[in-house]
Amino acid sequence: MAAKKSLEGVVCLNHPDTPATARCATCAKPVCGQCAVLGGDQVFCSGVCRQNGLDSAVVVNDIMQIKKRGDFRRRVLLLLKLIILAGLVYAGWVYYNRHRDEIDSKVKDLDSRVKSIDIDSKVKGSVEKIDKSFEKLDKAVKD
């Protein structure tokens, strides 16, 4: 909340010889006790400012209600997503426990197939081809 402006040495908007006792809740103009227009628990400088303040309060309250409904909907959707995610994790865990031997054998088979790939010989062959290409290029540049 913004800090309230001090009224020390401030005079009324309508009575320059009278010290101000409050500031208008709408426009922040200083007013004395005689000029103050009360609206609920707030002080205003005029009936127009009072009406504008009350109208603004209604609009702000409506906006806050809409925001609260939106926040609630977002929380409900997040909760539903988490429930669905938890259900999927649980279903995967149950499936794995029911088919553990089959899954483990497939993983071991895949692991052995990956390990059996001779990457070193493929890399060496590629490196040799690249070296030959560079040799040809060097020879062509020299000629």
Helices (H) and strands (E) in the chain, counts: 3, 4
Reported as a single tens digit per residue, the pLDDT across 65-104 is 999 989 999 999 999 999 999 999 999 999 999 999 999 9
Phi/psi region, residue 40 (left: phi>0; alpha: psi -120 to 50; beta: rest), is: left
Query: What 3-state DSSP class applies to 45?
Result: coil
Question: What is the crossing angle of helices 47-98 and 100-116, to 10°?
Answer: 80
**Is the pTM for the entire model greater than 0.85?**
no
Rg over alpha carbons for the chain, rounded to the nearest Å, is 39
Query: What are the residue ranges in the chain where pLDDT is below 70?
Result: 1-5, 117-122
**pLDDT at position 118:** 66
